[in-house]
Amino acid sequence: MNMQRGIRCMLMRGGTSKGAYFLAADLPSNVDERDRLLLSIMGSPDPRQIDGVGGAHPLTSKAAIVSPSVHAGADVDFLFAQVGVDESKVDTTPNCGNILAGVAPFAIERGLVAAREAETKVQVRTLNTGTIAELVVSTPGGRVRYAGPEKIDGVPGSAAPVTVNFLGAEGSICGSLLPTGNVIDEVAGVKATLIDNGMPVVVLAASDVGCTGRESCAELEANANLRARIEQIRLEAGCRMGLGDVSRAVIPKVALVSKPVAGGAVSTRSFIPRNCHASIGVFAAVTVATACILPGSAAATCAEVPPGAVKRMGIEHPGGIFEVRLEVEGEANAPHVRRAGLVRTARALFDGIVFAHEEVSV
């Protein structure tokens, strides 16, 4: 007779998301067994996730699986898993920059990386996309410091900063920054920029789907016709971007853009992919910021792009502003993002044993 299986787990807030962090060695190596275990731990499928540790929302139904890296240029490997809330699906196709922010503190807490005296740099390779990021964590006295002055919109209070620098995110999933080769495409009758700088995103003007771009998440989600229209665009865009049938996938995301209203570079309303994001995902923010600097893109017409080779881009969202730092090279009519960086925060919430149902325990 099987018993409930206890697995060591740390619940962490990473950026504006929350997830369960595991050592890969503590989970089954068989993918199907691993996914059944994650679904059980989170309490899926169930819109409330009442029988698990999930938070009943895509932003709080995530998992990080971390291990020592076998790659010469990285300290740890990280597999991101988006666990379905009301469906039995675990998607490891995309990356998640918010959950990524918690990987370095977790790796230090678990002893995968030795902490240095003041700050510790951790090279993280994301297995979903092959992207490598450098994370800088505050570690005074050789211990992770979570308290600090950094504030990010979408998270109450403040915490210690986690600096994230992305290396080689361009085309991480689709193979190129502009998978169709075009800055602008007509998709389901709407002009859109199909772009991937860490996250495949369909960028389109909010006005082209009958929005102002200043609506609340609740207003957008209550508009059934709008959601159906966005999904129609997303499905066609997925095929155009080489992702195939994306009806059950969480990518591409869709970002409605409009003129900034709070001093940022552009205003956004992001769908992940069918729920309106309370803020905006890390890689989606980087990708939208990149679209803003491309002449002729769906974002360029409404964006206010700062001058200079180093651009601090405020991406406005329902919860505030997400700042992205882009280092740009090349000519004005053909710019290229050499490096993208940002600051997130993370906090350990719980460390202990989490239990899966007996029937999935192995």
What φ, ψ does residue 332 adopt, rounded to 5°?
-60, -35
Cα–Cα dist 16/346, whole Å: 9
**Given this model, what pLDDT does residue 3 score?**
73
Cα–Cα dist 61/43, whole Å: 9
Q: Are residues 284 and 238 in the same domain?
A: yes
Q: Tell me: the pLDDT tens digits for 69-104?
A: 999 999 999 999 999 999 999 999 989 999 999 999
Establish if 124 belongs to a structural domain: yes
Q: CATH number, domain at 297?
A: 3.10.310.10
Establish if 178 belongs to a structural domain: no
Q: Are residues 106 and 253 in the same domain?
A: no
Q: Are residues 119 and 211 in the same domain?
A: no
Q: Are residues 223 and 87 in the same domain?
A: no
Q: How far is CA 276 from CA 57, 256, 272, 301, 316, in A?
A: 11, 10, 6, 23, 14
Q: Are residues 12 and 108 in the same domain?
A: yes
Establish if 110 belongs to a structural domain: yes
Q: Give pTM, 2 decimals.
A: 0.79
Establish if 287 belongs to a structural domain: yes
- Residue of 180, 168, 199 lying closest to 271 (CA atoms): 199
The single-letter DSSP state of residue 305 is P
Establish if 284 belongs to a structural domain: yes
The single-letter DSSP state of residue 360 is G
Q: Are residues 124 and 228 in the same domain?
A: no
Establish if 129 belongs to a structural domain: yes
**Given this model, what pLDDT does residue 2 score?**
61
Establish if 339 belongs to a structural domain: no
**Given this model, what pLDDT does residue 171 score?**
93
* Domain count for the chain: 2
| Burial of residue 354 (number of CB atoms within 10 Å: 0-12, 13-18, 19+) | buried
Q: Are residues 245 and 296 in the same domain?
A: yes
Establish if 172 belongs to a structural domain: no
Query: What ranges make up the beta strands (E) of the chain?
Result: 5-14, 17-23, 62-68, 76-83, 90-91, 119-126, 132-138, 161-167, 185-187, 190-196, 200-205, 253-258, 266-271, 310-317, 320-331, 334-356
DSSP bridge partners of 14: 17, 346
Q: Dihedral of the CA atoms 101, 105, 107, 108 (nearest 10)? A: 160
- Contact 238/245 with Cβ under 8 angstroms? yes
**Given this model, what pLDDT does residue 362 score?**
54
Give the domain range for residue 108.
5-167+346-360
Q: Are residues 221 and 288 in the same domain?
A: yes
Cα–Cα dist 230/275, whole Å: 11
- Contact 67/73 with Cβ under 8 angstroms? no
Tokens of residue 338, six digits: 């050499």
What φ, ψ does residue 54 adopt, rounded to 5°?
-70, 160
Q: Are residues 196 and 148 in the same domain?
A: no
Q: Tell me: the pLDDT tens digits for 336-345?
A: 998 899 999 9
Print burial letters for 205-228: b (CB count within 10 Å at least 16), e (below 16): bbebbebebebebeebeebeebbe
Q: Are residues 139 and 73 in the same domain?
A: yes
Q: Are residues 31 and 87 in the same domain?
A: yes
362 residues of the chain, pLDDT tens digit each: 467 779 999 999 999 999 999 999 999 999 999 999 999 999 999 999 999 999 999 999 999 999 999 999 999 999 999 999 999 999 999 899 999 999 999 999 999 999 999 999 999 999 998 889 999 999 999 999 999 999 999 999 999 999 999 877 899 899 999 999 999 999 999 999 999 999 999 999 999 999 999 999 999 999 999 999 999 999 999 999 999 999 999 999 999 999 999 999 999 999 999 899 999 999 999 999 999 999 999 999 999 999 999 999 999 999 999 999 999 999 988 999 988 999 999 999 999 999 999 888 65
Q: Are residues 218 and 137 in the same domain?
A: no
